[in-house]
Structure 1
Amino acid sequence: MSTNTIPLEEIRAQAADLPVDLYEGDATAYARFDQAFSLESVAIALGESDCLYDEATFPGVVYQPDNLPTTVVVSGDGTVLSIDATEEAHARSAVSNVIDTLDDLGLIVDARTPEISTNVRTVPFSLTPPSVETLGYDDDS
């Protein structure tokens, strides 16, 4: 997994270019897994009608939960990130809810549950999707 960190503002700026209305909040939270995520599977798990995923446009799934005023971004390299919550509790809850959903559907294989960090300015996030072999697929099948 990549351990590159980038400024949160860079992720927000890229997300702002997408056809999604971001919230005005600046509370953030993230959890970092030691595994890659299949972003197609993440979008299906979170509900395709509530997600935006276009790998050619943005390197993650953008999700806006119905019950919390925040936008969550899930990267292919294992980061679940709330980027614009109006309150820290909303950011933390949104990340926790996404983790629970992905775990319930078997998309989390990491044995440890990562700590949720809040109100950060830089985050571990890859601006390029992980390679196919990182996801555990075999090109020869």
Structure 2
Amino acid sequence: MSENTISVAELRSRVSELPITLSEGENAAYASVDQAFSLESVVIALDEEDCVYDEETFSGVAYQPDSPLATVVVSGDGTIVALDAREQADAKTAVSQVVDKLDDLGLLTGDSSPELSTDTRAVPFALDAPAVETLGYDDES
């Protein structure tokens, strides 16, 4: 989990620099897992068509699921934040869906589900992606 924190407003501002359209919702939620992610693996797991990942612009993956209406940001340090949801329940559902997808595909290594938080005055978020091994095949095999 990140030792850095960022306000949801600042995170939203940074995400708005990406080529996506944020909705007008003001609800947010987050969960932190105690592990780092390969953001390339996260993009593949969440469906590349619904993700924006530009490591030179922003140190996370922005994902916009079809439902609920929210933007979910995944940090390489294991923080998953739902922004701009219209309802608090939608923000929590969006985070839970991402956690479940990452878990189903074996990207989560822990035994317990991360706890969801709606206290989003400041969320843990690494502004610099940590170095992690990319999951997948290497060229030397």
What is the deviation of 1:119? 4.6
Query: How far apart, CA to CA, are the structure 2 residues paired with 1:26 and 1:76?
Result: 24
The list of structure 1 runs, each at least 4 consecutive aligned residues, that deviate by more than 2 angstroms after superposition, is none
What SS does the corresponding residue of 1:130 show, helix, strand or coil?
coil
State the aligned residue count.
136
Q: Residue deviations 1:17-40, cap 9 Å, x none? A: 111000111110100011001100
Aligned-partner Cα distance in 2 for 1:68–1:8: 19
Q: Which residue of 2 aligns with 1:100?
A: 100
Partner of 1:124: 124
- Checking the alignment, whether the CA contact within 8 Å between 2:64 and 2:70 is kept in structure 1 is yes
C-alpha RMSD over aligned residues:
1.6
How far apart are the structure 2 equivalents of 1:42 and 1:113?
Answer: 17
CA contact (8 A) 2:30 2:81 kept: yes
Alpha-carbon shift at residue 3 of structure 1 (Å): 1.7
Partner of 1:93, secondary structure, is: helix
Tell me the equivalent position of 2:114.
114
Find the aligned partners of 1:82 and 1:28 in 2 and give their Cα distance.
Answer: 5
Q: CA deviation at 1:2?
A: 2.7
SS in 2 for 1:37: coil
Paired residues of 2:7 and 2:120 also in contact (CA < 8 A): no
Q: Deviations over 1:58-115 (max 9, x none)?
A: 1100000011110000000000100110000100000000000000000001222111
Scaled by the length of structure 1, the TM-score of the pair is 0.91
SS in structure 1 of the partner of residue 13 of structure 2: helix
Assess if the C-alpha contact under 8 Å between 1:88 and 1:119 holds in 2.
no
Q: Distance in 1 between matches of 2:132 and 2:91?
A: 30
Matches within 5 A, 1:42-57: 42-57=42-57
Percentage identity across aligned positions?
57
* Structure 1: stretches of 5+ with no match in the other structure: none
Establish whether residue 64 from structure 1 lines up as the match of residue 87 from structure 2.
no
User: Aligned partners of 1:132, 1:51: CA distance in 2, in Å?
Assistant: 20
Displacement, 1:132? 3.7
In the TM superposition, residue 118 of structure 1 has moved relative to its aligned partner by: 1.2
Distance 1:85 1:119 in 2: 14
What is the rounded CA distance, in whole Å, between the counterparts of 2:113 and 2:101 in structure 1? 13
Q: Within 2, Cα distance between the matches of 1:87 and 1:119? A: 14
SS in 1 for 2:123: strand
Give the TM-score normalised by structure 2. Answer: 0.91
Map of 2:88 onto structure 1? 88
